[in-house]
Amino acid sequence: MARPRRIVLVRHGESEGNADDSVYERVPDHALPLTETGSRQAGETGARLRELFGDEGVSVYVSPYRRTHETFRFFGLDPTRVRIREEPRLREQDWGNWQDRDDVRLQRALRDAYGHFFYRFAQGESGADVYDRVGAFLESLHRSFEDPDHPENVLLITHGLTMRLFCMRWFHWSVAEFESLSNPGNAETRTLVLGANGRYTLDQPFRRWRAPESYGFTG
């Protein structure tokens, strides 16, 4: 089994939806492009990734959204050292169809109060649904490590909530731990680094916005 030295998760650069939430009334979520700021963010992250990967190979998985594809293009990775595939299971949490700005703001407030893992958007998904499909993707990812020629690096270009849920699934975090953490900023990375003991650790933690709630569970 050829496990990669690094598994790098990247949130897409700033999209038009991040800059103006009224755009969801006119453009489908999956079709939102990057802003100029988002393009610059992606280019800056790409420069750091090129330095990190050097001459090593990279297996790339990209969410099927326009903003993640555009983010990858701005990375400027050497195409001779990259194998890339679109991975629908790494998509954003689905809100469902067209969105009304006032309703979006209301549902976000309700989700904040109810909990990001369990709250289900009226026509879309809960965080738990995203967790399940991330888990299915991880099974496929682990099978890919059986290839003795697997590249030294894996790069996932995805979304903030999906990044947190990927790490929750990988590191077996509790729901309470997940709920205490914030999404990374646009074009920010988190890297799982393979240690000498054969285990992966995060290069930097997610920002914590509150202490995890405790229900007295002791295992």
pLDDT level of residue 196 (50, 70, 90 thresholds): very high
For the cut 70, the answer to whether the pLDDT of residue 215 exceeds it is no
- What CA–CA distance (Å, rounded) separates 72 from 176? 32
For the cut 70, the answer to whether the pLDDT of residue 28 exceeds it is yes
pLDDT for 219 equals 44
Domain range list for the chain: 6-202
pLDDT for 95 equals 87
pLDDT for 175 equals 96
Q: Which of 5, 80, 67, 72 is nearest to 45 (CA)?
A: 72
pLDDT for 101 equals 84
CATH superfamily of 6-202: Phosphoglycerate mutase-like (3.40.50.1240)
CB atoms closer than 10 angstroms to residue 30: 14
Question: What number is the average pLDDT over the span 174-180?
Answer: 96
pLDDT for 158 equals 98
Q: What is the pTM of this model?
A: 0.94
Instruction: Tell me the pLDDT of the chain averaged across its residues.
Output: 94
Give the catalytic positions in this structure: 12, 92
Lowest mean pLDDT among 25-34, 103-112, 188-197: 103-112
Percentage of the chain lying above the pLDDT 90 cut: 84
